Each structure stands twice: as C-alpha cells, then as structure tokens.
Structure 1
Amino acid sequence: MNNVIEFNPQKRTRRRPSLASQSIPVPRGAHLDQCRESWLLALESANKSPKTIRSYTDTAAAFIRYLRDNGLPCDAEGVQPEHVRAFLVHERHRTSPASADVHFRNLRAWFNWLCSDEVAERTSKSPVLKGDRPEVAKKVRQYVTVDEQKRLLAACRSNSFEDRRDRALLTILYDAGPRASGLMNVRYTPRNPDESDVDLRGRRIRIRLKGGDEHWVPLGAEATRALDRYVRARSAHSKAASSPWLWLGIQGVNTGHMTPEGLRDMLVRRCRDAGIRRRITPHDYRGTATHLLLADGASKDAVQRILGWRTPDMVEHYSDALADERARDIHRRHSPADRLAAGKQ
C-alpha cells in the first residue's frame, strides 16, 4: 500500500466568507430611528413650534429612509460626510435645490444635537459639513407696495365689524410685521389687565415668539387708532365676554378665535376685493416692515428689536433683497452730479 499523500499546492479549499467580511454595515452607535424619537422629545421640551418640529423630523425620517434603502450605516456613529452629501444630491434632483437646502439645515441641527456634550451619541465631529450646503439661486423677495396697501385698506373702509377688524389687522401687519401665529394668538381680557396682551395707552401688543419668549410689539398712532376702533366693535360680538382672544371670527366653527389660517384667508379675500391679482401673505408684511423701517433711517438694531428677532442675521435675511432699492433711493437724494449742478459741492 502506498501511504504517501500527494501534496498539490494548486488545490486549495475555498472557505466560506465570514459575516464580518460581507458588506453589511455594522452599527457602532445608537440607531437613528431611536435618535429621531429622542430629538422629537427634546424639540417639544424646548417648546419649538409644531411647524419647526415637523420640518426637522420629516428630514430625519427622509434621511433614515435613504440610508436604509441604499445599505448605508444607519446609526449615529456610522454616518459619514459622503453619506450626507449623497443624500443631498439625491434630494436636489428629486425635488429642488431649495428643498435640499432645508434638509441640509435640518440635518446640521440634528447632528449638532447628537454631538453635543449633553447628548454625546456621536464621538466624532458632525458629518454635515459647511462646504456641502446646496447652492440655491436667490430670488427677489416680494413686499407689499404702498399702492397695494392703500387699495387693501380702501377695500375695508366701512363701519362693519369685519371691516374694522380687517383694517386693524392690515395696519398692524404693515406697521410692525409681526408673525401670523404671534399676532393671531394675542389675548384680550379687559377685566383682567394683568393677563391681557393689549396695551392701547402704551401703544403696544404682546405676542409670543418662536420658543415661547414674550415680546411687546410697538404700534404707531394709526395702528393704535385702528385697533381701538376694532376693540369697540368687538365689545358687541357674541363671543366678546367668553373668548380670551383679541381677534374674533364671523363664520366657521370657532368664531371665538380667528386663527393664522383665517388671517391668510382674509388676505386672499381682500386682495380679490381690491383688484390685486397676486397673492399677498402675512409673511410678505414681515419683509415689508423691515424694508420700510430701514429705508426711513431706522438702525438695524432697532429693526431687530421691533420685529422680535434674536440675532441681526434675520434683519439681513429679510432686508438684503431690497437693499439695492434702498441704495437707489439714497443715490437719488445724494447724487454727486445733482449736488454739483445745484452748487452744493
């Protein structure tokens, strides 16, 4: 018998690849689904607006879905900048650069939270890099012109409850540009002045900003007169005694509280009555007030305080689109050639 075993170096037994060698993302941190739920709790605890919370959590859900569909890491530690970059490119092609930019800002807020010392779910720096922000073409911001405002006010010049209410709303929006939710949630309790948000003698109303901070909005003499006329008409409303809200409705389920949606509907109706073909929104007045105050010489710090913004960046955001118009107006008043011809140089 031949007990010699022939050795053939060409033949090698194939070994089955281990699970570790296959391209399966191995979680290294908390799953993003759970992080999303925790972030929701944190946002609610911080008293963020429902609209802001919905935007943040919708972005988180879309990002998780993209990672899962493409076999990418779906945990707080495993996400890399290239994963975020690919998601933003995908969203830019699927929707628009503006939508991708919203996702970028929301993801930046989420991962900054995950990287914070308080949460510490990610030990490395945020994968949302500043250089990956989508480029969005700037559009000229629309604002309410003097002619449009005059036509809107003329459309509600009668002495009826509805016209007094709408004229007061239009005047306050034009005068100080408050946010729709803040304006429509002003309380009016004349029997309990300490809880009332209306101070006619002080020419101001108190609104609640994003995050719950209270802010007194100053009113000019005309806005105060319009509000005073409405308050007198309000006293005859059937819900005047029972409703704690300043703005009352005349139709619908809840006439005891006119909502931001009711304000938007009012503007649509008044634009139609005034023969204005374009759509004017409450938010258009925010930029309008900013532009008009700056054009009349108000400082950026004063405008920031009047509009209730926490940082001066928001003043730039709302006023930049109309800066060229303000510059042209300044040039008309200080034209070097005109001054020379007039003998002022």
Structure 2
Amino acid sequence: MSGDRVDPGRAVREWLTHLDVEKGRSRHTLAAYRRDGDRYLAFLAGRGIDDLRAVTEADVTDFLVHLRTGDDDRPPLSTTSAARSLVAVRTFHRFLALDATLTADPAAAVSPPAGPDRLPKAISIEDVDRLLSVASVGDDASALRDQALLEILYGAGARISEATGLDIDDLALDEGVIRLRGKGNKERLVPLGTYAAAAVSAYLVRARPALATRGTGTPALFLNTRGGRLSRQGAWGIIHAVADRAGLGGRVTPHTLRHSFATHLLDGGADVRIVQELLGHSSVTTTQIYTKVSIARLREVYAGSHPRAR
C-alpha cells in the first residue's frame, strides 16, 4: 500500500463497480449496498475521518451503535436491518483488504447484532383438528390426497420436500412406519399414527389409482391431477387452500405443521432427543428451540392459573 490517502468516496465507488462488474450483483443488491455505503461515509465524515487508513475497529463498532440508536436525520434501524448494513460495511472493508488498498481490516472482528430468538410458530391441537377435519371433507381423489398429505405433515413431522419425495415403497403401513429422506438424503423411519395411516390407506385404495391413470407411471406416493409427482409448490397450494377453508389462512404453512408436531410431542412429555430423531435433526441443539415454545406455553398457563402469578 502506498502512503497516499485512501479517499472514502472513491473507495466506495470502486467497491460498487467491483460488485457490479466482477460479482454480477443484482440491481436491487447494488442499490442497498449503495445506501449502506453512503450512510457509512456520512458517519465517518461526521467524525472527521477522510482517510480510510484511519478507521479503527472502534469506529466500525460505533457505526453499528449509531445504526441502532439513529439520529436527527434517520430513525434507528431494527436488529435485522442494522445487521444487514454492517454486513455491507464488512464486505466493503474486506474488499479493500483483499485488493491491498488497506493492510488491515478494521471491520473483520465486529459481529452483527444478535436478533431475538424466533420461536417456531405452532398452532393449537384444536386448530390442527379443525384443519384436518376440513381436509377430510369430500370423497374425490384430490380431497383424499390432500387429507393424506396433511396427516403425514403433521402426524410424522415431515418437511414438505420429504412428503412430496415419498415413494410408495417408503410406506410400511402394516408396521405403522414410513421412511423419510431428509437433508443430505439421510433416511429415517418415523412412526405413523392410526389417523395418518388410515388417511394414506384410503388415498392409496380410492384415489391414487385414478390419478395414476392420467400419467405415465411414477413411484411417487402423492400425485398431481396430471398423474405426475406432486411438487412442493403444489403441496403449498393445497395447504393454503385447506387453511383458508378452515379459517386459518395466513397462519399455516408446511413448516407450521412440522413445528406443531414437535411442540405437541414435547407438551405431551416426549424426550427432546426422541423428538430430535423424529425430526431428523443432526444436533439436539436445533431441536431445543422447541423446548422454548413449550416453556412459553407453561408460563402462559401458569400466569393464567396460579393465584400468586399475577
């Protein structure tokens, strides 16, 4: 690096050109990074810094604090927005370090703010019953398929990709289990309750053969109206339609049913490591977030029931 001053404005322009020409970033991403860069430059100028060689880790940390507190011209940013802006600044300084414009990266050790824990959204057992009851209305092939799909999503805690990826050979209804293929094509056997098993059996006998005649032959369990494998997008559409009919529109996604599966198991006393196996999580740490949901429910019940909780 030469002894010349590193002009902040020029450096940002070169960084944006690099992102555009060499990295091929989208117009939307470039606009967001440009806004972040302008705000960072204004912050540095307010501190009298006109040479990027003078920027320290403390300056970058203070910029993050500035984002979270705001000023007379701009309101404070949310944790998520502040984290995104900091990522832009870190990317900017990393570019300068890799380009040898600067010998050090003052932003490398500054971590984005941690957001609040986002607890999985589960619906109540009563809402699940209402959803599945609505799905069971009708005796045509699509209605029987839809009921079987939702029963597996909730009854086995399957991801939507796992459910749509099921083949007929993955079923062992006489043993009450199904084989799911999770992330990394990792297989696991999951028990299937009597309600789900009955729904799948009814679909296999009374619906799938009719759907299969419209296609060219596939081992897929769930078929679309053309006889091919039901896609993830098709399954999403089914769930949204059933949720709307049940008066739960906007509250139910495929993952909602998986979350509800795990939460209701833990509420019923299941061990977290058993739930980990059923969900196909490689680490129990991932599963433990569901225990927070159950604890939140316990606190709610306690607050509403114990005479000295209020």
Question: TM-score band (shorter)?
Answer: 0.5 to 0.7
Q: Is the 8 A contact 1:176 1:217 kept in 2?
A: no
Which residue of structure 1 lines up, in the alignment, with residue 241 of structure 2?
269
In structure 2, which of residues 237, 255, 263 is the aligned counterpart of residue 291 of structure 1?
A: 263
Q: CA deviation at 1:288?
A: 0.9
- Cross-structure match for 2:190: 218
Distance in 2 of aligned mates of 1:84 and 1:243: 57
Deviation readout 1:87-131 (Å, 9 max, x if unpaired) = 796599789635337748988xx99xx9xxxxxxx997972544x
Tell me, yes or no, if the aligned pair for 1:141 and 1:322 is still in contact at 8 Å: no
**Residue of structure 1 equivalent to 2:131:** 152
**SS class of match (1:20):** coil
Normalising to structure 2: TM-score of the pair?
Answer: 0.64
* Alpha-carbon displacement from aligned partner over 1:30-79 (angstroms, at most 9, x marks no partner): x7987999999xxxxxxxxxxxxx9xx9998677545654569xxxxx99
CA distance in structure 1 between the partners assigned to 2:291 and 2:20 by the alignment: 35
- Check if 1:167 corresponds to 2:150: no
Distance in 2 (alpha carbons) for counterparts of 1:197 and 1:95? 52
Using a 3 Å threshold, how does the CA distance of structure 1 residues 140 and 257 change in structure 2: closer, same or farther?
same
Decide whether the 8 Å contact of 2:166 with 2:220 is kept in 1: yes
The alignment-based identity, stated in percent, is 20
CA shift digits 1:257-302 (9 cap, x unpaired): 3222322322222123234455311121222111111122211111
Paired residue type of 1:256: G
Residue from 184, 206, 228 that aligns with 2:180: 206
Q: Please give the alpha-carbon distance, in whole angstroms, between the structure 2 residues aligned to 1:310 and 1:35.
A: 36
From 163, 167, 173, the equivalent of 1:183 is 163
Give the SS at the match of 2:266: helix
Structure 2 residue aligned with 1:48: none
The 1:95/1:21 distance shift into structure 2, 3 A limit, reads closer
Q: Shift of residue 83 of structure 1? A: 4.4
Report the CA distance shift for 1:87/1:207 in structure 2 as closer, same or farther (over 3 A): farther
The answer to whether the 8 Å contact 2:64/2:86 transfers is no
Structure 2 residues not aligned, in runs of 5+:
45-54, 96-102
What is the distance in 1 between the residues matched to 2:257 and 2:182?
Answer: 18
**Alignment match of 1:227 (pick from 174, 193, 200):** 200
CA separation of 1:229 and 1:266: change in aligned 2, threshold 3 A: same
What is the CA–CA distance in structure 2 between the aligned matches of 1:261 and 1:328, rounded to whole Å? 36
Report Cα offsets for 1:303-328 as digits up to 9, x if no partner: 11111122222223234133132467
CA distance in 1, matches of 2:193, 2:122: 22
Does the 8 Å contact 2:60/2:107 carry over to 1?
no
Letter in 2 for 1:204: I
Are the counterparts in 2 of residues 172 and 219 from structure 1 also a CA contact under 8 Å? no
- Structure 1 residues 229, 79: closer, same or farther in 2, change over 3 A? farther
| 2:156 and 2:190 in contact (8 A); partners too | yes
More displaced, 269-278 or 311-320?
269-278
Q: Is the 8 A contact 1:59 1:103 kept in 2?
A: no
Once residues 256 and 233 of structure 2 are traced to their aligned partners in structure 1, the CA distance between those partners, rounded to angstroms, is 15
Larger radius of gyration: 1
Equivalent runs, 1:303-318 vs 2, <5 Å? 303-318=275-290
SS in 2 for 1:127: coil
Residues 275 and 287 in structure 2, CA contact (< 8 A), matched pair in contact too? yes
Distance 1:165 1:90, change over 3 A: farther
Cα offset, 1:173, TM superposition:
1.8
Indicate the RMSD between aligned Cα atoms, in angstroms.
5.0
Q: Give the alignment partner of residue 251 of structure 2, picking from 279, 286, 292.
A: 279
Choose which of 190, 204, 217 in structure 2 pairs with 1:242.
Answer: 217
1:127 aligns with one of 105, 108, 112: 108
More helix by share: 2
Residues 97 and 199 (structure 1 numbering): CA distance in 2 closer, same or farther, change over 3 Å?
Answer: farther
Distance, in Å, in 1 between the alignment partners of 2:23 and 2:189 is 32
**1:173–1:282 Cα contact (<8 Å) kept:** yes
The answer to whether the Cα contact below 8 Å between 2:272 and 2:287 also exists between their aligned partners in 1 is: yes
**Using a 3 Å threshold, how does the CA distance of structure 1 residues 319 and 125 change in structure 2: closer, same or farther?**
farther
